[in-house]
Amino acid sequence: MAGFETHQEYQRIEDYDEDTPPGEEDLLIHVPESRGDPWHHIKNLDNFFTRISFKHTHKNGFACMVLSEIFELVQFLFVVTFTTFLFNCVEYDVLFANRAVNHTGQTPGPLDRNKVTLPDAILPGEQCTERIQGNSWIIFLLIMASIFWIYRLAKVIWNVLSYWEIRQFYIKALRIQMDELCNFTWQEVQGRLILLQREHPMCVQKRELSELDIYHRILRFKNYTVAMINKSLLPVKLHVPFMGEMIFLTQGLKYNFELLLFWGPLSLFQNKWSLHPKYKRAANRQDLARQLSRVILFTGLVNLLLCPFVLVWQVLYAFFSYAEVIKREPGSLGARRWSLFGRLYLRHFNELDHELQGRMGRGYKPAAKYMNAFVSPLLAVLAKNVAFFSGSVLAVLIALTVYDEDVLTVQHILTAITILGVVITITRSFIPDDHMVWCPEQLLQCVLAHIHYMPDHWKGHANKSETRDEMAQLFQYKAVFILEELLSPIITPFILIFPLRSKSLEIIDFFRNFTVDVAGVGDICSFAQMDIRRHGNPQWMSEGQTEASVYQQAENGKTELSLMHFTIKNPRWQPPQESSVFISHLKEKVQHDAQTGPSPHLLLSEAPLCTSLLSNQSATGPDNLLASVLAHPVLSASCVPGWNRRFIPQNSAASAAASVLASLSSSQQPHAGHRSRPHALRHTHDSPVYSSDHTLGDSMSASDSMILSQSYSALASEFASAEMSLHAIYMHEVHQQKSQHAPGQSHTSVPMRDMSANSDPQIVSTQTDGLVTPSSGRLGGWAEEEEADEEEINNSSSSPVPDQTSRGSS
């Protein structure tokens, strides 16, 4: 990996005629040609590593992945066919008994004279075909659907071949059988990839691959997106009349952002790993901004043209997907999910999908409890009375039905029963639990322990409705998610045409200023390097270590927190010098603050009371530890019976977290070659198995060893997550203390045009064309299912695969 201290601005790549990127001629190694496997000198390592990660994340067999692809095709075919049938082949006047039916055959009895059967309402095949052929719009839509289905079919075939290739790679190259994949952590798979690179180079332009190199290739475009959300560059905030500011980011809008910036035919990247040379020079930034503005306008007009068709598809797909669920469980619309904006705002740099999913999953229950703590007394009173009246009428209808089932034949009686049941279910969600006691501040701190990011003004205002509303933008109702997706085809074109076009110059400057070329990896977002010197924030424990201006700093401590997260998740990674200095400084401060903190034994003894305080009845060991840290300041400051406050000083969450972190650090036993894991767990180089420092019995069977290794792996993963949670709590507390001591210091971003006056001269002098800033724009502020971006993986695989040697691809 290229050194962090020697970021070079782009040379004029078009002046070079050879295929090797400039400055990497000495990195080429000899490639033997007598190799029988197809994994030597891989042409598109970005896509290859992404599929390896995707396979590990899902841990599904080849048959499951193929069936998932096939059923997606079948679902699309079913939706189109069934919708066409409903619109053209059903006689609704007969179905709704608005027209009499003449039955043939035997004379009907008096009881079934007016009975309508399902075949009576279905038109014959010939008449149905005539209706379809006579409607030109239906024929046009069917032709468009057929073209799209054939395109999807080609992608499915390509994906199946790719899945098979990755399966063979796991078995033959990594020596991991598919039935054993669930026992391997990503770090173990990644370790084998690095070892395989040393023996049989997959990347021929770099002898050694590091963990960060692999992450950069998998998350190249996602790191850019996270950085743009962090700097409030993407226009996802809308000012709605009478409703104020709202966040709007849907799958369709995100797809258009990626199409315009990353992989579209008119995007800023000339291939998967290289920004187009013209965007690397500041001389023609105005012309490039106007060109990008025209591309955005064209894309917005195309979205506007396709709006009716996409909207119809969205409505049909939502109806077929959620209608049965809503009927069976009406309360499911009141369930919450992490919004797409929330997942980008809360995502670390260099955080894989399964790592983000696990972190968001651990934070789901605390977030749901915090949001449920806000109950409107007025709504509760109304809900109780509406539930009473609806329940009374429903009870009478059910009693009548039990007495005589002929009541069900009364017109609309089933509709009334269904609607009343839905109303009762919805109103009950507004009635609070009278036996539950909530602590909003502690619950919000518990949420922070897992999501790691929180605006500064939330601190001390957890009980405010404004805080809840902002939290709801990250943790939205499922009903809101469905509504936004339905409105997306209408709103997306206008966001592209108006707000996004006005940011064209800022986007051009962002990609030039924050793109670096890493040898053997290609162009990446400079924020993804987690360089404290270049992107650190002095208010987040990097004071004296960073040279970044306000424009260059990542907001909300994302550089510092991402560095700690990546270091904990990848204990074998050797950080560069600047990052090592920051980590050492953080550890020293933790050890210092731990001296004034509570004893770890005291925190552990408080675990049952703290978990009860946070209403976390099913907490695990690491969760109990977190609960003790979060609730200890409350207990130490309160008059809990049996406590002698003369001998128990009041402590903050920072000192409690520091005490536990120091205890974990002292309990780790050093092992050669890598950092150790908590509780004397270590990872051996020769085996992808966590083993104890204590000697295991020689008589242990292979199955027992595998079960033990799985337990150690799960335990190590849980404690690694808990360690990162403690670091997030500690760093936020220290940041808050620093902000309170310097209340007059401004944290707002400066206009980009003023950067040359605020930035370090050494950084500016390294740039070839100078760091030219846009004429306006404030980048900063606290702004930015669960899907694993399978569509993105499939899209990247369907494009033509370029030759690797043309531009640093491997």
- Name 518's bridge partners: 522
Cβ partners under 8 Å of residue 86, min gap 6: none
Nearest to 462 by CA among 359, 374, 347: 374
Per-residue pLDDT band at 614 (split at 50, 70, 90): low
CA dist 566 to 48, 70, 220, 559, Å?
21, 36, 15, 11
Q: Supply the pLDDT for residue 10.
A: 39
Q: What is the mean pLDDT of residues 642-663?
A: 64
Q: What is the Cα–Cα distance from 709 to 397, expressed in whole angstroms?
A: 58
Task: Select the highest-mean-pLDDT range: 436-450, 710-724, 783-797.
Answer: 436-450
- Condensed to tens digits (0 to 9), the pLDDT of residues 558-597 reads 999 999 999 999 999 999 888 899 999 999 999 888 888 7
**DSSP letter (8 states) at residue 61:** -
**DSSP letter (8 states) at residue 697:** P
Q: Supply the pLDDT for residue 44.
A: 85
Q: What is the mean pLDDT of residues 616-634?
A: 62
Percent of the chain residues past pLDDT 90, beyond the cut = 44
Whether residue 218 contacts residue 53, with contact meaning beta carbons closer than 8 Å, is answered with yes
3-state helix, strand and coil shares in percent for the chain, rounded to the nearest 5: 60, 5, 35
Whether residue 614 contacts residue 627, with contact meaning beta carbons closer than 8 Å, is answered with yes
Nearest to 786 by CA among 255, 339, 374, 239: 339
Among 87-101, 445-459, 596-610, which is the least confidently predicted range?
A: 596-610
- Condensed to tens digits (0 to 9), the pLDDT of residues 29-67 reads 344 444 456 677 788 889 999 999 998 888 777 888 889
Residue 238, pLDDT above cutoff 60: yes
3-state secondary structure of 598: coil
Residue 672, pLDDT above cutoff 80: no
**DSSP letter (8 states) at residue 262:** I
Cβ partners under 8 Å of residue 656, min gap 6: 597, 598, 603, 628, 629, 632, 633
Q: What is the Cα–Cα distance from 810 to 114, expressed in whole angstroms?
A: 74
- Condensed to tens digits (0 to 9), the pLDDT of residues 378-421 reads 888 999 999 999 999 999 999 998 988 888 888 888 889 888 98
Could you tell me the residue ranges of all domains in the chain?
A: 38-101+116-201, 212-375+432-518, 530-597, 598-636+716-730
- Condensed to tens digits (0 to 9), the pLDDT of residues 85-139 reads 999 999 888 888 777 776 655 555 544 556 778 888 888 989 999 999 988 989 9
Using DSSP bridges, classify how beta strands 269-271 and 274-275 pair: parallel, antiparallel or unpaired: antiparallel
Higher pLDDT among residues 628 and 276, named by residue: 276
Alpha carbon 423 to chain centroid, angstroms: 33
Nearest to 572 by CA among 258, 299, 186: 186
Q: Supply the pLDDT for residue 805.
A: 37
- Condensed to tens digits (0 to 9), the pLDDT of residues 137-171 reads 899 989 999 999 999 999 999 999 999 999 999 99
Alpha carbon 510 to chain centroid, angstroms: 22
**Cα-based angle 177, 678, 615 (whole degrees, multiple of 5):** 95
Q: What is the mean pLDDT of residues 272-289?
A: 92
Whether residue 490 contacts residue 311, with contact meaning beta carbons closer than 8 Å, is answered with yes
Q: Supply the pLDDT for residue 631.
A: 65
Q: What is the Cα–Cα distance from 214 to 286, expressed in whole angstroms?
A: 35
Cβ partners under 8 Å of residue 273, min gap 6: 46, 217, 220, 521, 522, 523, 807, 808, 809
Residue 662, pLDDT above cutoff 50: yes
Q: Supply the pLDDT for residue 211.
A: 93
* Phi, psi at 691, each rounded to 5°: -130, 155
Please identify which residue in the block is written with the tokens 């405010």: 464
Q: What is the Cα–Cα distance from 364 to 280, expressed in whole angstroms?
A: 41
pTM exceeds 0.85, yes or no: no
- Condensed to tens digits (0 to 9), the pLDDT of residues 726-753 reads 999 999 999 988 877 655 444 443 333 3
Higher pLDDT among residues 731 and 204, named by residue: 731
- Name 374's bridge partners: none
Whether residue 462 contacts residue 440, with contact meaning beta carbons closer than 8 Å, is answered with yes
Q: What is the Cα–Cα distance from 539 to 550, expressed in whole angstroms?
A: 11
Alpha carbon 201 to chain centroid, angstroms: 31
Cβ partners under 8 Å of residue 176, min gap 6: 170, 184, 189, 192
Structure tokens at 690: 């966590």
DSSP string, 446-471: HHHHHH----GGGTT-TTSHHHHHHH
- Condensed to tens digits (0 to 9), the pLDDT of residues 339-362 reads 999 999 999 999 999 999 999 999
How many other C-beta atoms can be found within 10 angstroms of the C-beta atom of residue 303? 23
* Burial class, 362, CB count within 10 angstroms (exposed 0-12 / middle 13-18 / buried 19+): buried
Task: State the average pLDDT for the chain.
Answer: 78
Q: What is the Cα–Cα distance from 479 to 472, expressed in whole angstroms?
A: 12
Nearest to 621 by CA among 664, 674, 668, 666: 664
Please identify which residue in the block is written with the tokens 């670390």: 348
- Condensed to tens digits (0 to 9), the pLDDT of residues 2-28 reads 333 333 343 333 333 333 344 443 333
Q: Supply the pLDDT for residue 32.
A: 44
Q: What is the mean pLDDT of residues 457-469?
A: 91
Q: How far apart are the first and last CA of the chain?
A: 13
**Cα-based angle 451, 452, 454 (whole degrees, multiple of 5):** 90
- Condensed to tens digits (0 to 9), the pLDDT of residues 251-280 reads 999 999 999 999 999 999 998 889 999 999
Q: Supply the pLDDT for residue 251.
A: 95
Q: Supply the pLDDT for residue 666.
A: 62
Q: What is the Cα–Cα distance from 465 to 48, expressed in whole angstroms?
A: 46
Q: Supply the pLDDT for residue 247.
A: 94
**DSSP letter (8 states) at residue 23:** T
Higher pLDDT among residues 221 and 717, named by residue: 221
Percent of the chain residues past pLDDT 70, beyond the cut = 72
Alpha carbon 296 to chain centroid, angstroms: 25
* Burial class, 455, CB count within 10 angstroms (exposed 0-12 / middle 13-18 / buried 19+): middle
